[in-house]
């Protein structure tokens, strides 16, 4: 029997779902790898679970429990955008099961930070107003806002985006350095999507010899949609 490839766990960003990784999943699966694309609680095909009880720890446990129930090990854990918060927290629980970790145009939080802390004053005011109104979610992004390149893909994304739970931005993340202890680490930046926080994360990783970095041009914030083959090749590079 041929040897099985590596385990990949691909975690989506705000307003997205496991569907966003479908092209990369197909490429990695065809290359012989076992691929998981969980949808976080309250989003995508699990939008019926949206409630005020959904917080960052909910999403972290979505991923940590997946590792446990599917016997995932020696894995490459990948997070896109908001997913950077989730995989940073999940690494604290599944560190021994990780061979590599990758942040795709993603937040790279420090211990004690909240998603709220890394938003603009205008975004913070909108969150404050939503919380005061008793809302449990904020609108998800649009395909155009994500700088997705193809009009057909913009329409495809717009039809699938769901609201993002507010509670995930209000809970501080608890980190002890598990993320940094993972042997192989990659940060991917897509500069056509303007986001100073991601620029800072990229520069920090580029200056750290413990990290690999990659800049992807000609795509928007969702390279798994705009350039799935290029992104897949970069992720496969972490199996080496």
pLDDT tens digits along 53-71 = 999 999 999 999 999 999 9
CA 38/CA 19 separation, integer angstroms: 9
Angle made by CA atoms 49, 52, 57, in degrees to the nearest 5: 80
Q: Considering 81, 88, 169, 232, which one is annotated as catalytic?
A: 81
Spatial neighbors of 148 by CB under 8 A, at least 6 apart, are: 154, 157, 220, 221, 222, 225, 226
- Residue 22 catalytic? no
Per-residue pLDDT, 240: 84
Per-residue pLDDT, 4: 65
Query: Strand 75-80 and strand 164-165: pairing?
Result: unpaired
Name residues of the chain where pLDDT drops below 50. Answer: 1-3
CA-closest candidate to residue 58, choices 177, 166, 139: 166
Domain boundaries, the chain: 7-239
The CATH number corresponding to 7-239 among 3.40.50.1820, 1.20.1250.20, 3.30.497.10, 3.40.50.620 equals 3.40.50.1820
């Amino acid at each position: 029997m041929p040897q099985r490839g590596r385990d990949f766990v691909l975690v989506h960003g705000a307003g997205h779902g496991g569907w966003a990784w479908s092209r990369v999943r197909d490429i990695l699966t065809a290359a012989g790898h076992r691929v998981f694309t969980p949808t976080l609680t309250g989003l995508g095909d699990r939008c019926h679970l949206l409630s005020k009880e959904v917080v960052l720890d909910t999403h972290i446990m979505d991923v940590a429990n997946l590792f446990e129930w599917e016997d995932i090990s020696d894995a490459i854990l990948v997070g896109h955008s908001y997913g950077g918060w989730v995989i940073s927290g999940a690494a604290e629980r599944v560190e021994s099961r990780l061979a590599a970790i990758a942040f795709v145009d993603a937040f790279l939080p420090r211990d004690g930070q909240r998603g709220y802390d890394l938003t603009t004053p205008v975004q913070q005011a909108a969150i404050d107003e939503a919380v005061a109104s008793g809302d449990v979610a904020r609108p998800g992004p649009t395909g155009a806002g994500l700088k997705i390149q193809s009009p057909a893909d913009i329409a495809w994304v717009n039809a699938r985006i769901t609201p993002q739970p507010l509670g995930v931005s209000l809970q501080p993340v608890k980190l002890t350095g598990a993320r940094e202890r993972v042997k192989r680490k990659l940060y991917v930046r897509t500069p056509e999507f303007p986001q100073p926080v991601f620029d800072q994360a990229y520069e920090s990783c580029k200056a750290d010899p413990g990290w690999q970095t990659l800049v992807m041009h000609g795509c928007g914030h969702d390279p798994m949609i705009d350039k799935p083959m290029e992104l897949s090749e970069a992720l496969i590079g972490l199996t080496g």
